Amino acid sequence: MLTHPQIWRALDIMADHNGLSPSGLAKRAGLDPTTFNKSKRGGANGKLRWPSTESLAKVLEATGTSLEEFVALAAGGGAAARGRPVPLIGLAQAGQAGFFDDAGFPAGAGWDEILFPEVADAHAYALEIAGDSMLPVYRDGDRILVLPSGSLRRGDRVVVKTRKGEVMAKQLNRLTAHQIELKSFNPAYPDRTFLLAEIAFVHRIVWASQ
């Protein structure tokens, strides 16, 4: 269960990651600029005030954040406000040898570090997007937080690495016992289908710094 402080802290972090104040975040979402002001988070009698589901939905849409990503951010607790260092490389580098071990976890030298909200997965890592192949979801220079552990489901945004070394960020369209179907974010780029035997790993994207 998410708590009142976690929800508001997640909104504050979303604003910060988008280079905005809470007021600026509200305006981007088409809301009254005072919607997320600290004065709106509790009454004089100590009664807690929660953001409405409508305001949350508008913020998620305005920032391109999924509900799952928001919940993951909120669930980070107190450490999320500070963040923790996770390994970072460019998406193009990720296809080179030496950056992942046989289990698909970050390994070896050559990784930088960046602060991201606290997550439970000790093997979490970040990739920096390059180019326009993932527009409009991810832009050149965006950094995505990736979790190697955990289950996958249709509609998840994922990082996929093939055994030939190709690395891509796509949306998981279908996963069967024999193959995986991936949908491109940018309609100018084709969707992809692979046999599972061709895949080195599939990791879930849970957050993006935009």
Cβ proximity of 36 and 51 under 8 Å = yes
**Mean pLDDT, residues 3-10:** 88
CATH architecture designation of domain 84-209: Ribbon (2.10)
The Cβ-side half-sphere exposure at 11, using a 13 Å CA radius, reads 28
What is residue 81's predicted lDDT score, i.e. its pLDDT?
43
Spatial distance between the Cα atoms of 192 and 168, rounded to a whole number of angstroms: 10
CA proximity to 172, closest of 145, 164, 196, 180: 180
pLDDT, one tens digit per residue, over 97-122 is: 899 998 899 998 889 988 776 667 88
4-80 topology per CATH: 434 Repressor (Amino-terminal Domain) (1.10.260)
**Mean pLDDT, residues 59-66:** 84
What are the sequence ranges of the domains in the chain? 4-80, 84-209
Element (H, E) at 67: helix 67-74
pLDDT, one tens digit per residue, over 139-184 is: 999 889 899 987 898 999 999 999 999 999 999 999 999 999 999 9
pLDDT, one tens digit per residue, over 71-90 is: 877 776 443 444 678 999 99
Same fold, 4-80 and 84-209: no
Residues in the chain: 210
